[in-house]
Amino acid sequence: MPIHNYGDFVRELRIAGFSQFGGRRDSVVSLFRYGWNTQPGDYPVQWFSGDPDRDPWHWRERVITEREEIAYSKVFFKKHGFITREWYPFFLAARRLGRGFDEAYADGLYSRAALRIYECLRDHGALPVHDIKPMAGFGRDEKSAFERALAELQMGLFITVCGHAQKISRAGESYGWASDVYCPVEEFWPEEVFTLASRLSGEEAAEKIEARVYKINPEAEPKQVRRFIYG
């Protein structure tokens, strides 16, 4: 069904199970018909219009704060997307292969920078990105390493966006643009999500996702589908 507002989007996302954020010609699965630079002027959905009901930029914020059954983070091609609770176990099984972060790091799959970020969140819980940097010891010359590591951890489904927060001045007042707040996915989802993932083999989970992708987008390119599934 056409998506004309936030309610339509949430309904269709729960049906589909997952979606990239934004409309792109090379999308594997995207519920967004148009991107911010391709939308017709008369289309009901208008990027950056400021209308919380019709502006997709606001939908991501509303999903994070209003929907407990949907995760939003950099999960597809190192770009943002959505995965519902129903489908998250399949992506966990396909990408993690039953490994926790410590095991994956020991296997050489994650950088030292990723370890610093993950340990910071594991020790302190949910933190805005502007607090993670100093608490994990990142200097100004490590901006690129920090951004890469943050994306690594999201793509690996070890951390996820779980809110927004502004900086706080010494006087206790909030200021500036709100930053994403991150937490370990174990703090975001109930235990049942991980229990379901543990019952799936990586291959079985990938086959399930693949079948769903082709049901939604029969013309999806196989190599892109594989990247979509495994990150």
Confidence check: pLDDT of 100 > 70: yes
Q: What is the DSSP string of 168-222?
A: E-TTS-EEEEEEEEEEEHHHHS-HHHHHHHHTS-HHHHHHHHHHHHHHH-TT--H
Render pLDDT for 5-18 as a digit per residue (tens, 0 to 9): 999 999 999 999 99
Closest CA to 92 of 186, 221, 220: 186
DSSP annotation of 104? H
pLDDT score recorded for residue 165:
80
In which band, very low, low, confident or very high, does the pLDDT at 225 lie, cut at 50, 70 and 90? Answer: very high
The span from the CA of 119 to the CA of 54, in Å, is 38
Confidence check: pLDDT of 198 > 90: yes
- 206-212 average pLDDT score: 98
In 10 A of CB 139, how many CB atoms? 10
Confidence check: pLDDT of 37 > 60: no
Average pLDDT for the chain: 91
How open is the CA angle 215-190-58, to the nearest 5 degrees?
A: 65
DSSP annotation of 102? H
199 DSSP β-pair partners: none
- 50-75 average pLDDT score: 92
pLDDT score recorded for residue 39:
59
How open is the CA angle 114-124-190, to the nearest 5 degrees?
A: 85
In which band, very low, low, confident or very high, does the pLDDT at 110 lie, cut at 50, 70 and 90? Answer: very high
pLDDT score recorded for residue 138:
95
75 CB contacts (<8 Å, ≥6 apart)?
A: 81, 83, 91, 154, 155, 157, 231
Highest mean pLDDT, choosing among 24-33, 41-50, 211-220: 211-220
- Residue % of the chain over a pLDDT of 70: 91
Higher pLDDT, 208 or 164: 208
Q: SS3 for 26?
A: coil
Tokens 């707040």, residue located: 181
Domain boundaries, the chain: 6-230
The residue count of the chain comes to: 231
Q: 190 phi and psi, to 5 degrees? A: -70, 165
DSSP annotation of 8? H
- Choice among 28-32, 128-132, 168-172 with the minimum mean pLDDT: 168-172
The span from the CA of 158 to the CA of 215, in Å, is 28
pLDDT score recorded for residue 187:
96
Render pLDDT for 177-187 as a digit per residue (tens, 0 to 9): 778 999 999 99
pLDDT score recorded for residue 22:
80
